[in-house]
Structure formats: C-alpha cells, structure tokens
Amino acid sequence: MTVSYESGHANRTNLIIHLLMVPLFVYGTLRAGWLLLNLHPFRAFPWLFVPLFALAAQGAGHRREKIAPQPFKGVRDFLKRIFAEQFFRFWVFFLSGGWWRNLRSTGP
C-alpha cells in the first residue's frame, strides 16, 4: 500500500522539522556538489555532513507520524526517494498549500 505524501506528513513537529531541514539538505547537497565540481574536496567534506544531519532530523520527525513511511527496498530506492522528496515532493507539498493545511489541522 502506498502512503500519500500528505498523510505521511501530518504531525506538527514533523512538519516543522521538514520546513527547516529540507532546505538545509538541499543547500548542503548543492554546496558540497559545487565544491567537488570545482575540485575542492577538502572544503566539500564538511558539507557532506549537512544533508546527513538533515536526514537524521527528518527521520526523527517521521517516527512521530501515525502513518509510517514505506520501508526502503534497497540503496537505489533509498537514494531515489530521498532525492525526490528533498528536491521535488516537499516543495510541491509546501507550495500547493498541503503543508499549511496539515499544520492547521493539527491544532495549536
């Protein structure tokens, strides 16, 4: 059974964690990638920990959800789903108003 993105992001704390951590993941990933492309591996190395921290925080947020995310089927599935969420799905959810609807439905 596939869980909808909106139903898997309904806990108030998880929503706030995602609002803070998804942009951090994106920035850290892009910054590390840019430094690697410009042949600065030692400067890029610390930036690789930024997305890891953001993912760990989001994982903690997902443990608060009533509906758990589907387990990953392997490394390829993990990478595909994580990058799709961080660079696309969350932003569609946020910009379409889904984030605000879920936040308001959780109450104060």
User: Are 11 and 106 contacting, i.e. CB atoms less than 8 angstroms apart?
Assistant: yes
Residue 9 DSSP label: S
For residue 68, the model assigns a pLDDT of: 86
Q: Smallest Cα–Cα separation from 62: which of 31, 92, 18?
A: 18
**Per the structure block, which two tokens stand in for 85?**
């969420």
For residue 1, the model assigns a pLDDT of: 42
* AA letter at 1: M
Query: By CB neighbour count within 10 A (0-12 exposed, 13-18 middle, 19+ buried), where does 108 fall?
Result: exposed
pTM: 0.91
Residue 47 CB coordination number (10 Å): 19
Q: What is the pLDDT along the chain (108 residues), one digit of tens a residue?
A: 456 889 999 999 999 999 999 999 999 999 999 999 999 999 999 999 999 999 999 999 999 999 988 899 999 999 999 999 999 999 999 999 999 999 999 866
Query: By CB neighbour count within 10 A (0-12 exposed, 13-18 middle, 19+ buried), where does 90 fall?
Result: buried
Q: How far apart are CA 84 and CA 25, in angstroms?
A: 12
For residue 3, the model assigns a pLDDT of: 66
| C-alpha neighbours within 13 Å on the C-beta side of residue 46 | 1
